Structure 1
Amino acid sequence: MSKFLNELKLTKQDLMINGEKVETDNYAPLYSPYSGEEITQIAMADKALTLQAVDAAYHARGVMAKMPAYQRAEILEKVVVLLKLRADEAAEIISRESAKPIAFAKGEVARTIETYKFSAEEAKRIHGETIPFDAATGGVGRIGYTVREPIGVIGAITPFNFPMNLVAHKVGPAIAAGNTIVLKPASQTPLSALFIAELFEEAGLPAGVLNVVTGPGGIVGDAIVEDDRVRMVTFTGSPSVGIGIRNKAGLKKTTLELGSNSALIIDKDINIDEIIDRCIMGAFSNQGQVCISLQRVYAHEDVYGEFVAKFTEAAKGLKIGDPLDPDTYISALISKGEAERVLGWIEETKDSDATITAGGKLQGGILEPTIITDADHSLKLSCQEAFAPIVVVNKVRSVEEAIEQVNDSRFGLQAGIYTNNVKNALYASRELHVGGVMINDVPTFRVDQMPYGGVKESGTGREGIKYAIEEMTELKLVVWNQN
């Protein structure tokens, strides 16, 4: 066990404000979602301490705004080096606090390293453009250009499912752009954020630039969102919370990455054997607790039977158990309450024509990978976000019918289609009402430099370092009159 993890049991985990650890009056136990054992005690901030963190970020904003791009890039590069050295430790932290199987936790750490690397590179590429003023009769004799300036204090609220990489998607571009941050990590997964804050301190980030405030969302989150000194809120989580943030944020900028029930279309000309492993990953990695997890499959009637049979067989072969076992593919959901919710949704299907071909029950407290066929669209498993290892597979007669089914959703984050027909691929890319269309891949595909975000109730704004920096800066126009 690593030094950081050894210290967890011996010390309480304090807030990180203005470069210092800050104690609170109240601490709450953090339990393992898998074993139920207590991992450590986490500080519970109140409104006053949250405002203290905002105050620290507000006063540090001038330091960051004036810091040259190469220095911001150097700090981010140092974090990359430090995280590479402690990658195994970081993966174990993720696995212990979230029950993410260690193989997937290591993958998350690798992506986090890339995300900070991209942030370091993009810090050097923040630029504006020149404007041809003489294109207008009134603009003759003038030259002008745009510059991008840091927005100031950014409030970042992150989820439990990628506790290190989704922190990186907010902290990395914020620092690259010269902003300061008040970060509220998910209550179940604060350790990843506190670990990263230590690395940034070691890398030389000035005090007050990154502040980590743990505690209840209704207290800490609301204080961040409602403070006028916070100029932008970036949030990943549920639609209901995201809508509440939007309502409270006023004229602040908001980037909201919300829910989804991502879908995949399988055309009639596809070799099913070639896509099963990819579909298993898309549906069941991280217990399906992925915003773009494959939740709905619409398979052409010519391949439907073969797909269901082979997909079911593969799902039944996945190893369930301890997240720290390198062979484990499926472990516990983030809480017992989540498991009970999903079991209720599965029970709802038993009063319909749907068929459970795999899973559907708990095994040692862990929800088995579950496949349900012939599910009516009105069932919660079809129309809401499951955030669990559950997939609905339905039969369609054409790609056009499948696209109608995919679009019949409150959400629109990403969708995928497997097809060898160029016309069908182009038609899908044009007609699918989502933020990203994956041709010949599952909707669960993401690399960290691509623009990522959705439409409808899947949110507003885009992540992906370059695109996040655009959200986290203000465009200023400068015009010189030469007349």
Structure 2
Amino acid sequence: MREAEPILLGSEDQTRSKTVAINNPYDGSLVGEVCYADPEDADRACVLAHRAFAETKKLSSRERAAILNRVADKLVEQSDTVATLIMLEAGKPITDARNEVARSVQTFRVAAEEAKRIGGEVTPADLTPGTEGRVALSRRFPIGPIVGITPFNFPSNLVSHKLAPAIASGNPIIIKPAPQTPMTALWLGRTVRESGWPEGAISVLPCSNEVAAQLIADHRIAMLSFTGSANIGWMLRRQTAAPRVTLELGGNAAVIVCDDADLSKATPKILAGGYTYAGQSCISVQRVFVHASLELELISGLVDGLKSLQAGNPSCASTRIGPMINESAAIRAESWIVEAVDLGATVHIGGTRTGSFLQPTLLSDVPSTARLYCEEVFAPVVIVETFESFTEVLASVNRSRYGLQAAIFTNNWNKISQAWNKLEVGAVIVDESSAWRADHLPYGGVKNSGTGREGVRSSINEMTELRLLILPSA
């Protein structure tokens, strides 16, 4: 499988740049080669996007919805191919890869519906002296070319979360995919173009950080939409010339297990939320706060559950834990575990590494000064801490520079209400893990976890601007 050149749709004079090998995280085998865009390619993509905006903003909602549905149809038709590509370049277990493709289909389907509902409202304008006889109409308009930068962990659905709202709202878009997983993004870009999106209105540019910096500094770009690490995201916000920026960044998500929780329900959800795709998700469960009366039972259940999870070849349907994206990521997570143990933490299971495989790990007694406690581990590692006071555990969850999502297991509405009011996060999820997400809902965080919201409707709002028309009333 080989991608000979970056996708610069509409360009007739693409330059040839260096090719970069994409390797399977599981066994290092060659998945394909991708040609990296150079500065001339990046400039050409901006020219094409700027030119295409004149066409995309005139497309009717019916036309935009039809394009989105054709992309979804193609994803359904080629679901096995796309899932296999995700598995090969990301090392994601094939079952999880298939689920991701299904979510991508829904992202495009929802966007097709939302494309028909970008409306406005009529507002009385005669509320103050001097405004008599006036009425205001409001409507949302597309803002122009968008640069979307995406991470490796969901190479189909997180790219879809940039593409689908941009198409729904009538904006050209340039995707800069993660260097580890560009091939799924290239497939999506080609499919979008073949589905009728105007020439030049979609480019997918695997490229170096230097070329990406050129892209976001281009004055023709109206918006930067970034999903990735906090340090990189805030740095890009300072560097970009785009007047509008959304950042969906990292977290170290917490789960609260209250004394009335049903552990038969909570335990498997914590396992799925903490260890699916080797914990490589920004909302993966990282910190579990359990009432002291349930500590031993919960730890025992989690250990038993981890023993039954099959690790190995991502191509096997029974595999639940695959490799991390590369060996350096696994080495980093392993070093954090060692640091925590040196500071007094207890390892209940796991903690060892072979190449890019890090054994699913569960710890307790991790001090708050350890990186494993206060930073985003992005690995199959979960820590457990006990609490007695509900007020104090809410404060413990908030003692983090991140605030993406948190979860709580309880039947007590008063505690649920307190958590919703006091936890400094973008979402509080009841009787589920912090890793739960529905693609149509507003999604994003506070503090170092980002700014703005994704989720199809929310992204459309970010990618459009409200414009008023003031009229004399009849």
* Normalised TM-score (structure 2): 0.98
Supply the distance in 1 between the matched residues of 2:312 and 2:132 (Cα, whole angstroms): 71
Shift of 1:182: 0.8
CA offset digits 1:277-298 (Å, max 9, x no partner): 1111100011100110000000
Change in 2 beyond 3 A, CA 1:15/1:365: closer
1:294-309 map, 5 Å: 294-309=285-300
Asked if the contact 1:213/1:220 (under 8 Å) is kept, the reply is no
2:56 maps to which residue? 64
Supply the distance in 1 between the matched residues of 2:156 and 2:30 (Cα, whole angstroms): 21
CA RMSD of aligned residues (A): 1.3
Amino acid at match of 1:379: A
1:356 maps to which residue? 347
1:181 maps to which residue? 173
Note if 1:466 corresponds to 2:457. Answer: yes
Shift of 1:269: 1.0
1:268-283 map, 5 Å: 268-283=259-274
Supply the distance in 1 between the matched residues of 2:232 and 2:354 (Cα, whole angstroms): 31
2:327 maps to which residue? 336
Note if 1:422 corresponds to 2:413. Answer: yes
What SS does the corresponding residue of 2:225 show, helix, strand or coil? strand
Asked if the contact 1:451/1:467 (under 8 Å) is kept, the reply is yes
What SS does the corresponding residue of 1:275 show, helix, strand or coil? helix
Of 301, 314, 322, the residue aligned with 1:310 is 301
Supply the distance in 2 between the matched residues of 1:63 and 1:123 (Cα, whole angstroms): 16
Deviates more, 1:378-387 or 1:30-39: 30-39
Note if 1:368 corresponds to 2:359. Answer: yes
Change in 2 beyond 3 A, CA 1:81/1:253: same
1:154 maps to which residue? 146
Amino acid at match of 2:249: L
Shift of 1:250: 4.3
CA offset digits 1:223-261 (Å, max 9, x no partner): 111001001000001111111111012461000001100
2:379 maps to which residue? 388
1:91 maps to which residue? 83
1:209 maps to which residue? 201
1:105 maps to which residue? 97
What SS does the corresponding residue of 1:139 show, helix, strand or coil? coil
Of 191, 199, 202, the residue aligned with 2:183 is 191
Change in 2 beyond 3 A, CA 1:224/1:248: same
Supply the distance in 2 between the matched residues of 1:399 and 1:15 (Cα, whole angstroms): 53
Of 394, 399, 405, the residue aligned with 1:408 is 399
Q: Structure 2, unaligned stretches of length 5 or more?
A: none
Supply the distance in 2 between the matched residues of 1:12 and 1:274 (Cα, whole angstroms): 45
Supply the distance in 1 between the matched residues of 2:400 and 2:17 (Cα, whole angstroms): 45
Shift of 1:365: 4.1
What SS does the corresponding residue of 1:302 show, helix, strand or coil? helix
2:37 maps to which residue? 45
Asked if the contact 1:18/1:57 (under 8 Å) is kept, the reply is no
Asked if the contact 1:316/1:359 (under 8 Å) is kept, the reply is no
Q: Structure 1, unaligned stretches of length 5 or more?
A: 1-7
1:286 maps to which residue? 277
1:452 maps to which residue? 443
What SS does the corresponding residue of 1:143 show, helix, strand or coil? strand
Amino acid at match of 2:86: I
Asked if the contact 1:258/1:458 (under 8 Å) is kept, the reply is yes
1:167 maps to which residue? 159
Shift of 1:66: 0.6
1:247 maps to which residue? 238
Supply the distance in 2 between the matched residues of 1:13 and 1:189 (Cα, whole angstroms): 15
CA offset digits 1:14-43 (Å, max 9, x no partner): 111124694522111111111101111111
Deviates more, 1:95-104 or 1:361-370: 361-370
Change in 2 beyond 3 A, CA 1:482/1:331: closer
1:35 maps to which residue? 27
What SS does the corresponding residue of 1:130 show, helix, strand or coil? strand
Asked if the contact 2:15/2:41 (under 8 Å) is kept, the reply is no
Asked if the contact 2:330/2:355 (under 8 Å) is kept, the reply is no
Change in 2 beyond 3 A, CA 1:50/1:398: same
Amino acid at match of 1:94: I
Supply the distance in 1 between the matched residues of 2:355 and 2:262 (Cα, whole angstroms): 35
Shift of 1:12: 3.6
Shift of 1:348: 0.5
CA offset digits 1:125-182 (Å, max 9, x no partner): 0011111012223221222211111000001000000011001111100110000001
Asked if the contact 1:214/1:220 (under 8 Å) is kept, the reply is no
Amino acid at match of 2:318: D
1:326 maps to which residue? 317
Asked if the contact 2:219/2:242 (under 8 Å) is kept, the reply is no
What SS does the corresponding residue of 2:146 show, helix, strand or coil? strand
Supply the distance in 2 between the matched residues of 1:212 and 1:297 (Cα, whole angstroms): 39
What SS does the corresponding residue of 2:68 show, helix, strand or coil? helix
Count of residues paired in the alignment:
473
Asked if the contact 1:413/1:454 (under 8 Å) is kept, the reply is yes
1:434-445 map, 5 Å: 434-445=425-436
1:3 maps to which residue? none
Shift of 1:442: 1.0
Of 88, 109, 115, the residue aligned with 1:117 is 109
Supply the distance in 1 between the matched residues of 2:391 and 2:304 (Cα, whole angstroms): 29
Supply the distance in 2 between the matched residues of 1:24 and 1:280 (Cα, whole angstroms): 46
Change in 2 beyond 3 A, CA 1:116/1:251: closer
Shift of 1:46: 1.4
Identity %, equivalent residues: 38
Asked if the contact 2:216/2:241 (under 8 Å) is kept, the reply is no
Asked if the contact 1:64/1:180 (under 8 Å) is kept, the reply is yes
* Normalised TM-score (structure 1): 0.96
Supply the distance in 2 between the matched residues of 1:241 and 1:289 (Cα, whole angstroms): 17
CA offset digits 1:177-216 (Å, max 9, x no partner): 0000011000010011111112112211111111011111
Amino acid at match of 2:402: F
Shift of 1:364: 6.1
Amino acid at match of 1:326: A
Asked if the contact 2:246/2:451 (under 8 Å) is kept, the reply is yes
What SS does the corresponding residue of 2:251 show, helix, strand or coil? coil
